Chains A and B, each alone.
Chain A
């Protein structure tokens, strides 16, 4: 068991990283809660789903499933796997970091949404901060924001005016900044360029509803074919860094 000052220090280090997500999740979570209510669900459903599914875009799809009137659990499972397949890439990327987190890893993996993955994958906690605790706080704070937003929208949606056109852009802005931070510190840019290029090409070819899985497949193929040059570029950069 870690001591209290260590836990507090990790919280203090993690909190600033989650501020943009606080704004984005409270707003989008509220929009989600309101949407679920206007579709006819009781308030408990969006709140429950926010807590146990914790995957924003799927939860909107789940509202449609629950209100369609058709009970089709196999379809629900297939839809979920399709919408969330990108998490597989997150897991492979976080193998080393999360496997080293002891018992906390179970919660870290459970709560690995887009935003928690992006921060924990790129943030460099200050020296002296326990990394696993830092990852833990980022994940927990994000989930608290999302569930609070959903509850706010589901319970008080009719009372408060949430109409702030454009505030949802905060999530896009955050992703761009995280991408830039990673770009500035990565040892080779092949992966980032492949990620952008392949996804954009697949978006244009397959359309916004079904481009993620083709993108993942093509990325895997390209990264596998380019393994040698990419490893060489990364090694060359590391050697350069090691020289005085």
Chain B
């Protein structure tokens, strides 16, 4: 018989006090903060990130199956090859579109692509756009409490992911996006220790914010979180919610309008979009992406920014 009795501490509330119930970052309301001013007085920072991913077919799925990963018994050729389609075909449609509209993307890259698709990574590195580390691969989830993170040797996983990507691309790689945007209790600390200046994993804000000072990096500043919206992520809208492409387009445009209007009174805002070559790079979807870029590039108040540029512009003002 399973024990269905409640744990003894179920009626105790040790974290019931002012502020957050953890020590990652302090409590603060967006509208009560100092107004942020973006370069050239622009109202809205647009950070367009393309996630370039490797989904291993021998997925361990620990501690959970990554969304978008393998779902069928091994060998799951359908999902392996459809994700690979994004890296072979879809990405080039996306690149053509962003170049056409002059919108500069960033790429969050699974470091394992240095071995799996060096031709692709080489091409991306040559473009000169900022590359963020997206962990080792989509099946290498960062998870668990501090003890679990140590048992999983997560520190070494982060070190390896960063050194491989830095060496291959020649870029300093100061931005991070965890696979599935999942973190362990220690991830933020490890990232700061490894020279990461910002991550996009926590989706609790519409502007960057600093982690608590224990997350101090060698550069002497605490890790910054620059929320990369999951609500507006193409995978969330199209694959999780099964909304139409028309609705995807409308949702992002509505978000853009609202944030621009809010910026009139409250200072600079940020629209952070994460997209996937294996989704929007499909022939039946690419036109919607192009329409989206046409809309965004028609707004003169938008500042096209990489994660690092947002980091720099924000860090200068928030102190």
**Same complex origin of A and B:** no
Task: Show the binding face of B for A, using Cβ within 8 Å.
Answer: none
